[in-house]
Amino acid sequence: MSTTLHPNAAHVSETLIARGHHGVIVASPESAHTATEAAGALGVDVGAIVKSLVFLLDDEPVLLLVSGSHRVDLPRTGKRLDGALTPAPLDMITTATAQPVGGVAPLGHPTNLQTFVDSALGDHRELWAAAGHPSFVFRTTYSELLRITAGLSVDMD
């Protein structure tokens, strides 16, 4: 396994450091495109995996940071966010984040996406999130995730 960071992961590390995080990026033992794969590779509960998902809230892209054990209930979560929540087209996700689906980090995007954080992530002492590429992750905590993303806590069950 190479110890060289993918350019996306290096950018995420720089962004983390700029926001007061230690910025340590870890190469996952195996590429993880799903929360279940990531949890298995890291040996953690799937609920401690942060899924970074881009949706449209009305017509604006937003970032939902969701526990790996949750699926977003679009009507209920949209109502909590005071709008209609729909899946974003793949090309919009790539443009808004400059990161591949399956490796989208909670930060380090070229656009400033309004961010909402699943309150269920607060049930875990430590969290793991993608670092801009499916082969790289970083560790954080719920309170730190809220801080480094300027995210708002929302129930997404």
pLDDT band at 34 (very low <50, low <70, confident <90, very high): confident
Note the pLDDT tens digit of each residue in 72-128.
999 999 999 999 999 999 999 999 999 998 899 999 999 999 999 999 999 999 999
Q: Where are the domains of the chain?
A: 7-154
Nearest-CA neighbor of 42 among 56, 31, 53? 31
| Residue at 144: amino acid letter | E
Residue 3 has pLDDT above 70, yes or no: no
Give percent of the chain above pLDDT 70: 95
Distance CA 82, CA 80 (A): 6
The per-type count for the chain, helices as H runs and strands as E runs, is 5, 8
Report pLDDT digits (tens) over 146-155. Answer: 999 999 999 9
Q: Which CATH architecture has domain 7-154?
A: Alpha-Beta Complex (3.90)
Among candidate residues 135, 127, 110, the one with its CA nearest the CA of residue 65:
127
pLDDT for the residue 1? 44
Percentage of residues in the chain having pLDDT higher than 90: 80
